[in-house]
Amino acid sequence: MRVLVTGAAGFIGYHTCIRLQSEGIFVVGLDNFSPYYSVDLKRDRVKELEKVGVHVVAQPVQNQTFLQTLVQKHEISHIIHLAAQAGVRYSLEDPRAYVESNIDGFLSVLETVRAYPHIVTVWASSSSVYGENKKIPFSEKDRTDSPANFYGATKKANELMAYAYHSLFKMKLIGLRFFTVYGPWGRPDMAYFSFADKIMKGEEIEVFGHGKLRRDFTYIDDIVDGICAAMNAPTAHDVFNLGNSHPESVLELVEVLESSLGRKAKLRLVDRPAGDIEETFADCSHAKEELGFDPKISLKEGIERFSDWFRSYHT
């Protein structure tokens, strides 16, 4: 097994590389070091990867010629495609970035694998594809044609692209719908990270939806378990939910952060912004049956692990 991880300097990419390398699997990473959030944090992740022997190449995944050369040079057997423009709210400001990264980038991966059809591809979709779905919990059998934001629309487009390429070229393509992933080395634009930063600085926190929004917070190690299992999925094409199946409110998240950081938060409750959805809740029965996916880390334990890292990283 020889694995290429795109988005290797990203949060999920970093942890995936670490896990694979720890299991003795050859890993090479690719990342464009997008300035969407702190490039310094991404470079710090890469320094940690380099320490354990994982090399990360600085190139955009849209560079198909380079991607094919990398695949051929390292005799890649699996691609874990995590490179993407993330963030719901930013898609209101710069939708073109989502087309370039999420649509064009995924097309580059698909065309590369079309040229090397032996490659197994595991790629990141998102819980955002469920959009305005009112049925709880979200199941892979539910309709996903009413996106609440443009980010979700691009991820739905990815699912359709994967289906078409599998149907046409019999490529093995496994999509994973991630639900609110958190943990050490996380993304600063995510609520738990920005809340921790402001709590430690004594700054006021804006809590959207007056704290009533509920998210299926899923710890990074559980997500990586699902990614690794998907590399050996029993089918050639499928989409799986990877969540904790236990949604909790944003106010509950704040309370756990206060406890783990040992400081009180200053809250300002505000309306839910455009594009945000009320609740995410994963039905993971399909992933459990086919992949053996069984998340184990509670929000309390996961936030305590994140907080320990957060304090050490910022001292």
Please state, in angstroms and rounded to a whole number, the distance separating the CA atoms of residues 110 and 117.
Answer: 10
Q: Is 90 a catalytic residue?
A: no
CB 250 within 8 A of CB 287: no
Q: Are strands 214-215 and 248-249 parallel, antiparallel or unpaired?
A: antiparallel
The residues, ordered by sequence, that sit 6+ positions from 229 with a Cβ below 8 Å of its Cβ are: 287, 291, 292, 293
Contacts of 3 (CB under 8 A, 6+ apart): 20, 25, 26, 27, 28, 76, 77, 78, 79, 80, 231
Question: How many whole angstroms separate alpha carbon 99 and alpha carbon 70?
Answer: 23
Q: How far is CA 211 from CA 90, 262, 304, in A?
A: 21, 20, 21
Catalytic residue among 130, 151, 192, 219: 151
Whole-angstrom Cα distance, residue 230 to residue 220?
A: 15
Contact yes or no for 265/166 (Cβ under 8 A): no
Do 153 and 299 form a contact (C-beta atoms < 8 A)?
no
Asked whether the beta carbons of 273 and 154 are under 8 A apart, the reply is no
Task: Give the active site residues.
Answer: 151
